Copies of this chain bind each other. A is one copy, B any other.
Amino acid sequence: MRKIRMGMIGGGRGAFIGGVHRMAAALDGQIELVCGAFSSKPEVSKASGEDFFLPADRVYNDYLEMITREAELPESERMDFVSIVTPNHMHYGPAKMALDYGFHVVCDKPLSFDMDQAEELQKLVKQTGLIFALTHNYTGYPMVKQARAMIAHQEIGKIRKVVVAYPQGWLSTLLEASDQKQASWRTDPSKSGIAGAMGDIGTHAENLAEYITGLKITELCADISTLVEGRQLDDDGNVLLRFNNGARGILYASQISAGEENDLHINIYGEKGSLSWKQMEPNSLTVKWLDQPTQIYRTGVGNLYDQTNDHTRLPAGHPEGYLEAFANIYRNVAMCIRSRVLGEMPDDKYMDYPTVDDGVRGMKFVYAVVASGKSNEKWTEL
């Protein structure tokens, strides 16, 4: 066998999430970066390719060139999949073309700029049968797997209530008025889409809640705000939720929660007990019971579910973080592509990554939240 070959679209010098994807892809030694179109500026793409030690002829001016040319290479050389790490409005084009040309896709979230694109991509994935992973990376943490498994095994009983929150503070000022690259495109409706904070991080919260609980949000009631004057998109949102089993919930996401770093966290209350998890201390899962001592489940300690251990690399007490969780998605995708190459069925444990369907779900959530934010009706269906 050989390493799985990745081509990257976006993520050149100065980008943030591209570097994350590259480190995540490299960590387990299963994936090799073989080519890229790293920037809309050819000279940046070229310089970036040098940074990554790529041969000049595998560094392309744009994704059109890259996909066309890679498709012409012999199978023994050409990339297996593309990794799309561009701003939201630049997901659809390369994703569609990659699928059209028979390449698997890993795409940063949210799936696309708008709903039409999202559904189009979903259709294409279904038609082609190709692998399409969306990097809702927070579901890659071992303790998130553990929480999901505990709920699936009814350990805390029927779910009654979910509180999921994603407060950040980095947009507490009008940062986009300076030349801060991240702030600029994420607050620009022509690049980000119809939502700001709710699209950027609210979708992570939604995805995490549905992934862990196995429930679906059926109705929501949102108060969506732009609290920093001069901003074009929402920077704060508070949402009441109802789930398909009757459970109640709260979801809030904010980028003006001054002093908060990246504090995604979730509390899930069942009839017999509750689970709580915080992304910033990801190796602990707090489990509370009716009238028994609280338990702290820890990565690598004791009798955890297989799916937890299969996404853990280190012994107990050796903290694994954001990149390791992100790498779990890449590792799983690589192992599934490897099975395709070998003509085998992948192991179930590797088929655990967010897909285009999660992406469509996320877009529906964003649309419903934005609609609810404008409505005087209490409940909006999702």
Q: A: which residues have CB within 8 A of B?
A: 1-3, 16, 19-20, 22-23, 26-29, 33, 50, 52-53, 156, 160-161, 163, 165, 167-170, 172-173, 221, 223, 225, 227, 236, 238, 240, 242, 248-250, 252, 254, 256-263, 267, 269-274, 279-283, 287-298, 300-303, 313-324, 375-379
Contacts and interface: CB of A to CB of B under 8 A. Distances in A.
Given A1-B50, A238-B249, 13 more contacts: A19-B313, A169-B288, A172-B271, A223-B240, A240-B240, A257-B269, A260-B274, A262-B316, A282-B319, A287-B293, A292-B303, A323-B324, A377-B378
Contacts of A221: 221, 223, 240, 378
Nearest to A222: B240
5 contacts: A29-B33, A167-B267, A262-B317, A279-B319, A281-B319
A274 B248 contact: no
Contacts of A287: 259, 293
A318 B1 CA distance: 34
Q: How many copies does the complex hold?
A: 4
A293 B296 contact: yes
B236 A258 contact: no
Contact of A256 (B161, B279, B288): B161
A296 B289 CA distance: 11
Contacts of A16: 315
B29 A52 contact: yes
Contact of A1 (B53, B160, B322, B324): B53
Contacts of A52: 29
A258 B376 contact: no
Contacts of A315: 16, 170, 261-262
B238 A240 contact: yes
Nearest to A2: B53
